[in-house]
Amino acid sequence: MKKKLLHIFIVLHSLFIFMLAIPSKAAGVLQNALDTANRTNAKAQLPDADNPAFIIGDIIKYALGFLGTVFLILIIYAGFLWMTAAGNEQQIEKAKKILSSSVIGLLIVILSYGLSLFIINVIISATTTSTL
């Protein structure tokens, strides 16, 4: 009976994850299209769109995106530890520690993304000329 329930849980969990992946993939495709359009507009408006500031900004964007993925994996791992603890207090404490550390890490990533976005925008606006 337990094995059958475990199989049902795995199938339902897989379907749930699959249903979450479809909208996120669609959002990623839409975001890529918007990024391409914005980059095209930036190249049309700015005389030097291959500016090092753009390159550094892209590197920072991808690095912080990777850290967001790491955060998601840690949250799933902590949840798995907690759910499979079966009353083991040491495992529950380990899961809580991983979860709280992950949330603190996420806050640091969000703040660093905001700060780097601000700095890159200031550098771009300071190094390009505007013709209004």
Number of domains in the chain: 2
**Is the same domain home to 40 and 60?**
no
**Can you list the positions of beta strands (E) in the chain?**
none
Backbone angles phi, psi at 31, to 5 degrees: -65, -40
Question: What's the rounded mean pLDDT across residues 21-35?
Answer: 56
- Among 42, 73, 61, 77, CA closest to 109: 61
pLDDT score at 8? 73
Could you list the residue range(s) of the whole structural domain that residue 98 is in? 50-132
The reply to whether 35 and 65 lie within a common domain is: no
Same domain, 34 and 62: no
Dist. CA 102–CA 67, nearest whole Å: 10
pLDDT for the residue numbered 95: 92
Is the pLDDT confidence value at 26 over 50? no
Q: What is the pLDDT of residue 91?
A: 92
Judge if 40 and 64 occupy the same domain.
no
Is 2's pLDDT higher than 90? Answer: no
* More confident position, 46 or 111: 111
Residues 60, 76, single domain; the answer is yes
Residues 33 and 67 in one domain: no
Q: Which residue has the higher pLDDT, 4 or 18?
A: 4
pTM here? 0.51
Q: What is the pLDDT of residues 59-86, one digit of tens each?
A: 877 887 888 888 889 999 999 999 999 8
In this structure, the answer to whether residues 72 and 90 fall within a common structural domain is yes
Quick one: 32 and 59 in the same domain? no
CB-based contacts of 43, cutoff 8 Å, min separation 6: 49
DSSP string, 99-124: HHHHHHHHHHHHHHHHHHHHHHHHHH
90-115 mean pLDDT: 89
Residues 59 and 38 grouped into a single domain:
no
Question: Same structural domain for residues 114 and 61?
Answer: yes
Q: Are 80 and 24 part of one and the same domain?
A: no
